[in-house]
Structure 1
Amino acid sequence: MLYRVEGIVIRSMDYGEGNKIITLCTQTHGKIGVMARGARKLKSRHAAITQPFTYGEYVFYRQNTGLGTLNQGEIIESHFSLRGDLVLAAYASYACELLDRSLHDEEVGGFWFSQLKSCLEGLSAGKDPQIVIHLYEMKILQASGYGPSFETCVSCGSSEHSALISPRLGGRLCRRCHHHDPTAKVVSPGTLKLLMLFEKMDMRRLGNIVVKDSTKAELKQIMRSFMDMQLALNLKSRHFLDQLDKYEI
């Protein structure tokens, strides 16, 4: 059967002599693997359309389930600037790998697709990459069924204002429920405000937000705790991002 889909290349690997296998996050068919024959050759018509982070329209043939074979493709947005910058490429790679590991092959990917598309657009537009990624992480947690709650206490439902955050229990705790998780972290008002904003905001609505370095550092620690506690994914791209932070590249 012949398929025509809009998709984003979230993974690309060499296969055989001159071929590539790409993984697409599509708007209508979830995550799909497609063989692009000859894509590694310099003059291949598939070379550009199979680059990581590329958003395009893909036409491929596939029998039932399994790997498809690419017939043709047209680039909608190449995101060339992301591949040309080491830091932006690292953030974009993390966004793609996180989605790849979170989204099952047969799972409908409309929401996942829209959030990834907006994430890559935000990175390309020069928005603060750390803020873009932390909002994206929040959307991944929500789409995976582990979205944190910050409006009320996750234990008793109290609306008492508290800056206690429990990644293990999945959100904010009131002071009376602190004993349920003694390791809950006290965060600054600025970090709590961002967490509450991220819970409600769609990636497509993110503007240019200016955040203090101290708040970003605290936000990174909290979001790292949520990702580790709720998803527990060992991602190569995140390790590389950590190395960039370590050497301040």
Structure 2
Amino acid sequence: MMARETTDFTGIIIYRRDYRERDLLVKMLTDKIGPAMFHIRDGKKRGFRMASDFLPFTHGTYIGALDNQGLSFVNTASETHQYQGIATDLRRNAYATYILSLVDHAFTDGQGIGGWFNQVAAALDLINRGQDEQVVTNVIETQLLTVFGVAPTWDRCVICGERHRPLDFSEQYGGMLCDRHWYLDQRRFHLDRRTAYYLQQFAALNLQQVNTIKINSFTKERLQYVLDTLYNDQVGLRLKSKRFINQMNRLEQKMGKLSTDD
């Protein structure tokens, strides 16, 4: 795509911040050039006609000048809507913020991201509708590992290719080991079959085809352990939005324990 091409596009607001006296800088995930920074002139001015079109967690159609090397601009917006369920719920908000931050870090500004836009939009829609925000986020985390340069082999033993025997994940070997090769890595994750199964499913799951998600709490804990370990050890990404989720979860667990003790 040539720089500064005016076109219509679909976008999701990632974040916004003040710029100069009256303007805004808005980071948006677009379907055409991936993440892009937009300069919104007079965005802070009272009565700005597109104020609601640039609120966080807004998804819609825009017309503007896309620049894959610098700042982009928006001329007009139409059919925009805010994910109200996300905007008004702290937990949903936290996970949606983390997803958008992950995607923003995974992809280079101004470059196409293929089907990822629709996958992210589907994830936000599921969270907005009240589906399990952690599990939806785990799907995105699992699939983004490849984008970050980590490509675990989830569906078969990395040694012999076995798919039907019990499998366990090995960081050392970058994928699953079948039970005949567990001896190769005593520090493997010791996953139960259900957790291993979900990781395999998550790696290829199209969220646009999902209506409901329900996984038991033990499996959710194991899934999160695997993904947190990989992101810490292999990706090396430690986002503020992720730290907030961890703090929120610890507080909820503490409050739950206090309630049980009472």
TM-score normalised by L of structure 1: 0.91
CA contact (8 A) 2:36 2:68 kept: no
Match of 1:137 among 138, 141, 161: 141
Which residue in the other structure is 1:86 paired with? 90
Which residue in the other structure is 2:210 paired with? 206
In structure 2, distance between residues paired with 1:26 and 1:167: 34
Identity %: 28
TM-score normalised by L of structure 2: 0.86
Q: How many residues align?
A: 249
Which residue in the other structure is 1:31 paired with? 35
Which protein is bigger by CA-based radius of gyration? 2
How is 1:37-56 mapped onto 2 (pairs within 5 angstroms)? 37-56=41-60
Q: Secondary structure, in 3 states, of the residue corresponding to 1:150?
A: strand
In structure 1, distance between residues paired with 2:122 and 2:154: 24
Q: Larger deviation: 200-209 or 48-57?
A: 200-209
Match of 1:218 among 222, 225, 228: 222
Aligned partner of 1:204: which letter? Q
Q: Does 1:177 align with 2:178?
A: no
CA contact (8 A) 2:158 2:173 kept: yes
Q: Does 1:235 align with 2:245?
A: no
Match of 1:15 among 9, 12, 19: 19
In structure 2, distance between residues paired with 1:204 and 1:227: 25
Aligned partner of 2:19: which letter? Y
Q: Larger deviation: 36-45 or 183-192?
A: 36-45
CA contact (8 A) 1:15 1:21 kept: yes
RMSD: 2.1
CA contact (8 A) 1:167 1:229 kept: no
Distance 1:209 1:69, change over 3 A: closer
Question: How far 1:238 moved relative to its partner?
Answer: 0.2
Which residue in the other structure is 1:3 paired with? 7
> Unpaired segments of 5 or more residues in structure 2?
256-262
> Unpaired segments of 5 or more residues in structure 1?
none
